[in-house]
Structure 1
Amino acid sequence: MKTGNWKIVGGFGAHIKSNRTELIIQHKGIIKETPINEISHLVIFGGHNIQTSTITTLIKEGVFISFCESDGEPVGYMAPYDYSSFREIQELQKSVAPYSYAFTCALGSIRTRILTIEKYAEIFGPDIIYSGELDLLSGYSKELENMVRIEELRRIEKLVRDMYYEIISRFIDPSLHFKRRTVRPYSDPVNAILSFGYGMLSSAFTRAVVGGYLDPSAGFLNRGNQALVQDLINCWKCEMIDKAAIEFIRSDDFNVKGYEISHGRCILKEDIIQQLITIFSSTINPDLIDSQVENLIQALKGESQFSILR
């Protein structure tokens, strides 16, 4: 897999083109040029214009391209031909008994959320956790060991996720109207910011998964498009996205004029999008993501035990 930096284009209306050696992005009268040999991954959020010759050039140079909606929802990807040498590893992926992998993902997701809540209680005070909630969450973690069906693992993991976001809402400014994690379209800036970060994290994991010849839709715990990617990113959202997002939202850098709410939908403005790209580019660790996916591949080959790396 080609190594290097990723390039992220957010907002709307950029013109993306290239020559043989440079990727050229023109946006609001500003032109930025980046050597193609320094790019491993191009992530495009929202509506922009990109030349087909540029796509061809990037793919030939081994650049992975991810496409997301403006709110961070992953749409698809384009990859060089050598990313499709997948038969052996995907057959292993689909033939192994899925329960142990699903259990590891569910337990990883739950434990990282409990640990994160405990850290927030140290920072913001124990009152953010209602009486008995932490015991309840720990009980869910222990209860996983008694689950025999993947559907049960999925239910408990989602229940803990829902509680996690509800607890987070208690130390976020009430005027932002964040009470829980919601589905699209997002009506508050907190959900919009989290989703943008999750889109970046999903793109990073998709590149690693596809680069490892795995099927991103063949999950163990989750089902549907990007199921495997969701299995993995739910174990890393707290560490790579949530902490930085909450710190930003609670900081003086967060400007309430950086978004607008129209017809029940929150739209992030250009300035805040650029801030988020800078923040999450520093908190998402591609090397660690590659190591996590490599751990999964080794487990599928019977060379090691699958685990969530810490």
Structure 2
Amino acid sequence: MNVNWKVVGGYGAHIKSNRTEIIISHRGNVTEIPIRNISHFLLIGGHTIQTSTISTLMKEGTFISFCESDGNPVGYIAPYDYTSFKEIQNLQETTAPYSYALTCAFGSMKSRIFAIEEYTEKFGTDILYSGELDILSGYLNELGNMVLIDELRRIDQLVRDMYYEIISRIISPTYNFKRRTIRPYRDPVNAILSFGYGMLSSACMRAVIGGHLNPSSGFLNRGDQALIQDLMNCWKPGMIDKPAIEFLASDEFPSKGFELTRDRCILHEEIITKLITLFSESIEQNLIDSQIQNLLQALQGETQFTILRSPTLKIHF
């Protein structure tokens, strides 16, 4: 499935269309894009879009998704041919979840351990405290001995917490990033990561809905977008974290590209534009689509469920 993104970030864009083109007016600039060239239209932040434009996109089979300005997913609009098939969702919701949850936990943890190993090759083992990598590897080795999904979920969360604390040591202390936090984000690193995760979530959502699956019926995670979280946690280190960390360390990241208020960090338009380009290139939609095909085949008993891996991190600074 070939997916052509169009992402509109920040605030204040006015979006309209004619029969063949989307017309985006933003801060004095006007962009015209052939509708046939867009298969996923992602709106991040606050903008104005005509209802006739939404109708036009729906008729052309374009998937529209929405995120808040910090990347938090809000919802989506899908054409009729994305309507979920009850048979597939019934398989998803009635299958024994443990083996799927175990595979997701292993994929999530392995991706983080692999990333840490890559970072130690680049920066040296000084970024690790004594025994940290052994602890992480021990958690991974113990997964197969755990019999409850709650245990898998708890260990996966522990590894994720350790992972963010470790990568904080390779990021400039001037950004005051210590760990992954909840909203509102008070430092530029968390703000940038969340923006990227919002884009990755939208990419996963499009594939999940296109596969007629229920995005809230997960195996490892629970709640809204549980299945999305099951999958995207396995790809965050390679598709989002690595390019974000490289961007923060590069000359392209301006020191005044964000504003710290009393309770949150606000990314400036210049940064948002760069992030849209950066993550549009790093998110591997073809891999995500292939993963959904693997999940569908596994639910139908045609193959074994596995987490597909993106290429190696190939860290460059």
Q: In structure 2, what is the Cα distance between the partners aligned to 1:154 and 1:86?
A: 29
| Secondary structure of the corresponding residue to residue 185 of structure 2 | coil
Which residue number in structure 1 is paired with residue 197 of structure 2? 198
Per the TM alignment, residue 171 of structure 1 is displaced from its structure 2 partner at its CA by 1.0
Which residue number in structure 1 is paired with residue 182 of structure 2? 183
Which residue number in structure 2 is paired with residue 104 of structure 1? 103
Which residue number in structure 2 is paired with residue 262 of structure 1? 261
Q: In structure 2, what is the Cα distance between the partners aligned to 1:256 and 1:100?
A: 46
Paired residue type of 2:58:
I
Paired residue type of 1:49:
T
| Secondary structure of the corresponding residue to residue 12 of structure 2 | coil
TM-score, length-normalised on structure 1?
0.99
Paired residue type of 2:52:
S
Paired residue type of 1:303:
E
Query: Deviations along 1:19-38, whole A, 9 cap, x unmatched?
Result: 11001100001000110001
Unaligned runs of 5+ residues in structure 2 are: 310-317
Query: Deviations along 1:20-79, whole A, 9 cap, x unmatched?
Result: 100110000100011000100000000000000000110111000000000000000000
Query: Deviations along 1:239-293, whole A, 9 cap, x unmatched?
Result: 1111100000011111121100112200101000000011111111111110011
TM-score, length-normalised on structure 2?
0.96
- In the alignment, structure 1 residue 116 sits paired with structure 2 residue 115: yes
Per the TM alignment, residue 4 of structure 1 is displaced from its structure 2 partner at its CA by 3.8
| Secondary structure of the corresponding residue to residue 17 of structure 1 | strand
Q: In structure 2, what is the Cα distance between the partners aligned to 1:240 and 1:100?
A: 25
Paired residue type of 1:115:
F
Which residue number in structure 2 is paired with residue 73 of structure 1? 72
Native 8 Å contact 2:89 2:212 kept in 1: yes
Paired residue type of 1:215:
N
| Secondary structure of the corresponding residue to residue 46 of structure 2 | coil
Paired residue type of 1:294:
Q
Which residue number in structure 1 is paired with residue 274 of structure 2? 275
Which residue number in structure 2 is paired with residue 210 of structure 1? 209
Count of equivalent residues: 309
Per the TM alignment, residue 85 of structure 1 is displaced from its structure 2 partner at its CA by 3.8
Native 8 Å contact 1:4 1:38 kept in 2: no
5 Å-filtered alignment, 1:244-259, equals 244-259=243-258
Query: Deviations along 1:95-136, whole A, 9 cap, x unmatched?
Result: 100000000000000001000000000101110011100000
Paired residue type of 1:301:
Q
- In the alignment, structure 1 residue 137 sits paired with structure 2 residue 136: yes
Native 8 Å contact 1:241 1:284 kept in 2: yes
Which residue number in structure 2 is paired with residue 284 of structure 1? 283
Which residue number in structure 2 is paired with residue 146 of structure 1? 145
Q: In structure 1, what is the Cα distance between the partners aligned to 2:105 and 2:3?
A: 31
Q: In structure 2, what is the Cα distance between the partners aligned to 1:258 and 1:114?
A: 31
Per the TM alignment, residue 88 of structure 1 is displaced from its structure 2 partner at its CA by 1.0
Which residue number in structure 2 is paired with residue 171 of structure 1? 170
| Secondary structure of the corresponding residue to residue 11 of structure 2 | coil
Paired residue type of 1:232:
L
Native 8 Å contact 1:258 1:272 kept in 2: yes
Q: In structure 1, what is the Cα distance between the partners aligned to 2:297 and 2:276?
A: 32
Q: In structure 1, what is the Cα distance between the partners aligned to 2:99 and 2:265?
A: 39
- In the alignment, structure 1 residue 221 sits paired with structure 2 residue 220: yes
Q: In structure 2, what is the Cα distance between the partners aligned to 1:242 and 1:74?
A: 18
Q: In structure 1, what is the Cα distance between the partners aligned to 2:228 and 2:246?
A: 25
Paired residue type of 1:141:
L
Q: In structure 2, what is the Cα distance between the partners aligned to 1:294 and 1:24?
A: 34
Q: In structure 1, what is the Cα distance between the partners aligned to 2:221 and 2:84?
A: 24
Q: In structure 1, what is the Cα distance between the partners aligned to 2:278 and 2:5?
A: 14
Which residue number in structure 2 is paired with residue 18 of structure 1? 17
Q: In structure 1, what is the Cα distance between the partners aligned to 2:308 and 2:226?
A: 19
Q: In structure 1, what is the Cα distance between the partners aligned to 2:292 and 2:244?
A: 24
Q: In structure 1, what is the Cα distance between the partners aligned to 2:56 and 2:223?
A: 31
- Detail structure 1 runs of 4+ shifted over 2 Å in the superposition: none
Paired residue type of 1:6:
W
| Secondary structure of the corresponding residue to residue 66 of structure 2 | strand
